[in-house]
């Protein structure tokens, strides 16, 4: 029987990808755009998913953070070559609450926590040496104490308004299932390959 709840279908596909994908099954392409429509895309890691949306974390002053603040819509793409599937998700983006961001930040390795303090993500860097010196400054600054979440580091959640589940088929006769909101549930349709 085919799953008609896109969140459950995603969870099933994601679980399969986690068992077979050799590297980073949680990697997703995140597309954002400036208010005038200039797009950019990069890979980020999925850190949570469910009926409330799809969560990732970043420096709020990074290019993606700035673009989301100005144009709070995004698209995600998961591509799992090992199972020959992909999932596209589109929708508005909202911030996670501080306690949630704090809790996730606390699960990161200490080196990653220090790196979040040392990095001015997406800003020009004159040399790798400059960044490594900033990192060493953070090592000294937080020596012997817990590393708190930086004030300009948090998470975002994409709230789906569209799901597309793509399955590879021979001769490019692929299967494309699309889900859009309908009342309190979801309406399913098909797209030509």
Nearest to 72 by CA among 49, 50, 53: 53
Nearest to 71 by CA among 29, 28, 39, 27: 39
Residues forming the active site: 172
Beta bridge partners of 162: 90
Angle between helices 128-141 and 110-118 (to 10 degrees): 120
Return the HEC string of 78-93. EEEHHHCEEEEEEEEE
* SS3 of residue 178 by DSSP: strand
| Alpha-carbon gap, residue 66 to 60, rounded angstroms | 7
State the Cα–Cα distance between residues 76 and 184, nearest whole angstrom: 23
Question: Exposure pattern of 32-47 as b/e (b: 16+ CB <10 Å)?
Answer: bbeeeeeeeeeebebb
Task: State the Cα–Cα distance between residues 8 and 109, nearest whole angstrom.
Answer: 30
């Amino acid at each position: 029987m085919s799953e008609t709840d896109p969140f459950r279908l995603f969870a099933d596909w994601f679980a399969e990808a986690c068992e077979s994908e050799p590297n980073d099954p949680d990697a997703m392409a995140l597309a954002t755009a400036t208010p005038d429509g200039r797009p950019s895309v990069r890979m980020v890691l999925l850190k949570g998913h469910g009926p409330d949306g799809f969560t990732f974390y970043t420096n709020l002053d990074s290019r993606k953070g700035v673009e989301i603040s100005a144009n709070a819509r995004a698209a995600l793409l998961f591509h799992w070559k090992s199972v020959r599937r992909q999932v596209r998700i589109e929708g508005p983006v909202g911030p996670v609450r501080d306690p949630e961001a704090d809790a996730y930040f606390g699960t990161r390795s200490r080196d990653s926590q220090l790196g979040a303090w040392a990095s001015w993500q997406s800003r020009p860097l004159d040399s790798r040496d400059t960044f490594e010196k900033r990192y060493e400054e953070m090592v000294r600054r937080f020596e012997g104490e817990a590393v708190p979440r930086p004030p300009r580091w948090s998470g975002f959640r994409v709230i789906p308004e569209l799901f597309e589940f793509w399955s590879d088929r021979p001769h490019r006769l692929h299967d494309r299932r699309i889900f859009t909101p309908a009342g309190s549930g979801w309406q399913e349709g098909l797209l030509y390959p």
